[in-house]
Amino acid sequence: MLQPCKCGSGDAFGICCKPFFDGIAVAQSPEQLVRSRFTAFARGNQGAYLLNTWFPATAKGLTEIDLSNVSRRWNRLEIVGWGVQGDDGWAELNAHFTDLSDATVARVMHEKSIFTRIDGRWLYIGGEVVNG
Residues found near Zn ion in the complex (CB under 5 A): 5, 7, 9, 16-17, 39
Rounded to a whole number of angstroms, the minimum distance from the CB of residue 27 to Zn ion is 10
Nearer to Zn ion, 10 or 86 (CB): 10
Shortest separation between residue 9's beta carbon and Zn ion, angstroms: 5
**Closer CB to Zn ion, residue 4 or residue 56?**
4
Give yes or no for a contact between 92 and 78, defined as CB atoms under 8 angstroms apart.
no
Q: Are strands 121-131 and 88-99 parallel, antiparallel or unpaired?
A: unpaired
Shortest gap between Cβ of 44 and Zn ion (angstroms)? 15
Shortest Cβ 46–Zn ion spacing (Å): 12
- Give me the torsion for CA of 7, 11, 12, 18, rounded to 10°: -60
- CB of 8 or CB of 58, closer to Zn ion: 8
3-state secondary structure of 71: coil
Nearer to Zn ion, 17 or 93 (CB): 17
Question: Which class for 123: exposed (0-12), middle (13-18), buried (19 or more C-beta within 10 A)?
Answer: buried
